[in-house]
Structures are given as C-alpha cells and as structure tokens.
Amino acid sequence: MRHAGQQGPPGGRAPAPAGRRPSQEGREPGAPGQDDLAERGPGPGADLEQEPLATPAPVPMVIIGAGKVAHAAHLREIRDLPDLIRPVAVIDPDPGHRAAVMAGFPRVAVCDTPEEATRAGAGAALVLSPWWTHKDVVLACLEARLPVLCEKPVSLDPAEIDELIAAERLSGVPVTAGYMKRHDPVVRLFIDHCRANAATARRIAVDIHDPNAPHLVDHLVPYPPPPFGPQPPPARAALARALGADSSALQREVYARGLGGSLIHQVNIVHAALDGTGRELYGSLEHSLQWAGGSAVSCRWRPDDDLVVEASHLRLPAHRRYRETLEFTGTDSVATLTLPSPYARDEGATLHIDTWDEATGLSTRRTHRAGPAVTGFREQLRAWTRSVSQAPGPGPRTGDRPLPGLREVREDALTVREAALRLT
C-alpha cells in the first residue's frame, strides 16, 4: 500500500527511447570530466568531446533500498543533481530508512512494490537493496516496465543472472549494472590505454587495501549503520545456491566479500580493458588463495602466453585510508591508476602513463587527474539518466559508450565464482 506522507504531485514517467536494445542499453557521456594534466599530450581520451550534462527533464525515480550504500553514495549525489533525477517514491521495509529518505526528499511516496511506485509517478528504479534480494527486485521492476540501475553485485549466482537476462530480453526494458568505477573519466582513460596497447600487454595487476571500517561511511549515514559481521541467513542461503552444496563456509564468505563484494569491480575493469582481444579470464585461472581467515584473497589468471592478470584484496581495519592501484605493464609503457575510497568526494583518481622511445631512450610521463567531486557514482547517474530519457536528437554522439549490462555481470560472476571454488 502506498502512503501519501509528504508526497507532492507525481511526476510524469520518463518515456523509453525508441529502438531500445534489450541489454547494455543506453550510452554514457564521452567527457573526460575535469582533468588536471601535469604533462598533457594527445594521449588516450584526449579527443573526447564534452557532452551536455543535463537530461531534458529530471527522471522520476523510485529508490528501492535505503540502507548504508544509498545514503553514503547515491542519495547525496542525487541531491546535487536536481536537473537529472527526482525521487518520487521509496521502497524499504525499515521505517527508519524510509524516514531518512523523506527527510532529505520530502516529496516522495512510501510504496511496497515497483508497480505501486509507477502509480506514484516513477519512470525508473534505482535498486540499492541487499545483493541477495536483487533478482526478485529487478524482476518486479521489469514487470512494472521500469528501467533499472542495480548496485553491484547484481547477483553472484549465474542461474539467477540467466533468469534476469531472459526477463530483460522478454520485456525490452534495460538493466544497467552499478559498476560505477567504469564511469570515472580517469578509469576510462586507463581502459583506453589498455585497449590501445593490448598487443604489448604483459601484466595487469590490481592491489586493494580496504579498511572497510566505520570511519569511512558512518558520518554519511543518518542512523547507526549495522556493524560488520557474519552474513545474514538469507545471504548465506543465496551463497550456498550460487556455489553449490559442497562449497565450504570459508569459500562462501570470501565469495561474498573479497571476491564478489570488492574485486568483482576490478574484474569488470579488466574485462573492459581486454574486450575485443580474445583474452578471457574465466577458464584461465592459475591459482586462487586466501589467508588471514579469508580477510585476504589473491587470484592469478593467464589468458595467453604473453599476459598475466593478478588481483589481491586485503581487508585491513586498522588502516585509515582506502588504497586501490591498477597497473598495466606493456613492453613500452606502464599505466598506473590509483583510486581513493569510492565514498570520497574531496579527491579523485590519478593516472600516470609512462612511455619509452626505443630509438632515443627518452621517456614521457602523462598524468591525468579528475577534480574533486568527479566521482564514479555521479558520472554513473549522469550516464544512466540520459540513457532512460528521450535524447534531444537522433543518432549517436561523439564518445558514446554502452553502459555495463547483464552480460558483463554474467562474465564477471563466472570469473569470481571460479576463483571462489578454487580457493586454497
């Protein structure tokens, strides 16, 4: 049942673009955002053209799930993007969570289902509920004809992902995966460099030091967030279905956290960097290790005889800062990408690209930085709202790229699931 509360006049529903493809629908802006380039040359992405940042009208949206990630990331970006997004409904079983949303967005209706949200004026759905609820929530959104942006992991169960792909195809309504790092303009430059230098690639490395500690997000959440602890029973049941009855409790824990909760982001970036090269992570796993009771995990893939991909995630609660580094090493270049905490808005990503000229021995360093508040979460919302709105003119725009969709979700889940089942 929908509760009026402080509801204002419902907004019009965002019309779907004509000729919509069933998956990976929509395009993201090609703008590199704010660049502070220490040494700027015609490097990758330099020709990207600035795109309009506003959609024709704010997209009326239902927020499904108003927990920690909603308040720490999405809702504070939405408050700064009133020309793009207008929340008109919220769905969450917790009264305190709903009240916190209504305190910041008083003109919303409290609803129980996506279908009710459409009657409140919603034209799209932002799914931020716990990961093990995503399949049922996204299916209900597709039945209600609501385009979806779903937080990662969309699912860790390949069978569920196949069900979602079939429902997306049948409905013709797109599901976008919440791989927000892919929308960071500096990350996009890193991916471009990897693709342009794929023939020379010898190693891609990922290293994450993650406090996953209260000081990172507690100040952003308007109620006491739940403590870090064991997975709740519904999550444990979902993990058992995803990994199989023979999987161990340790494998399920590492799959939910270090692999599926974190490294799946970077696996997606590596997949994007290798797209079109014929190199695959799934099926090329050399080893998968856990240590420190599962709080640390490392994987190594060898897609072919020339390339090794390595990724590690360490949960280190005593560390005060989150640190993430991705490095591409080629025969004549090294690209080093560093990223702050995904919740940080006062600092951005940095990319150093070092190249060498074999004939002269001279080296060149190009540095790319995004300015403050150019976050993956914000750029993701820009791209997604544009994809579910009527474009002001026909035809593609310069620099447009497909949004991450369910087929990428399936590829990423298969890769990290294989790593979970091979843990030693």
CATH code reported for the domain at 182-374+405-421: 3.30.360.10
* Residue 44, pLDDT score: 40
* Residue 12, pLDDT score: 42
Amino acid 341 reads S
Of 154, 406, 413, which Cα lies nearest the Cα of 282?
413
Encode pLDDT of 294-352 as tens digits. Answer: 999 999 999 999 999 999 999 999 998 999 999 999 999 999 999 999 888 888 999 99
Nearby residues of 312 by Cβ (< 8 Å), 6 or more positions away: 206, 207, 208, 296, 297, 298, 299
Higher-confidence position of 417 and 17? 417
Contact 323, 208 (CB under 8 A): yes
Query: Whole-number mean pLDDT of the chain?
Result: 86
Residue-wise DSSP of 373-407: T--HHHHHHHHHHHHTS--SSSS--TT-EEPP-HH
Sequence length of the chain is 424
- Is the pLDDT at 31 greater than 80? The verdict is no
With H, G, I as helix, E, B as strand and everything else as coil, classify residue 207: strand
Nearby residues of 23 by Cβ (< 8 Å), 6 or more positions away: 165, 168, 169, 174, 175, 405, 406, 407
Q: Map out the domains of the chain as residue ranges.
A: 182-374+405-421
Kindly report the pTM of this predicted structure.
0.85
Encode pLDDT of 228-281 as tens digits. Answer: 778 899 999 999 999 999 999 999 999 999 999 999 999 999 999 999 999 999
Mean pLDDT of the region 387-392 = 66
Contact 108, 135 (CB under 8 A): no
Q: Which two tokens stand for residue 17?
A: 């673009």
Tokens 């995904």 belong to 342
| Residue 337 exposed, middle or buried by CB count within 10 Å (0-12, 13-18, 19+) | buried
Range from 17-31, 112-126, 359-373 carrying the lowest mean pLDDT: 17-31
With H, G, I as helix, E, B as strand and everything else as coil, classify residue 44: coil
- Is the pLDDT at 154 greater than 70? The verdict is yes
| Residue 412 exposed, middle or buried by CB count within 10 Å (0-12, 13-18, 19+) | buried
Confidence of residue 36 (pLDDT cuts 50, 70, 90): very low
Higher-confidence position of 169 and 345? 169
Residue-wise DSSP of 265-316: HHHHHHHHHHTTTT--STT-EEEEEEEGGGTEEEEEEEEETTEEEEEEEEE-
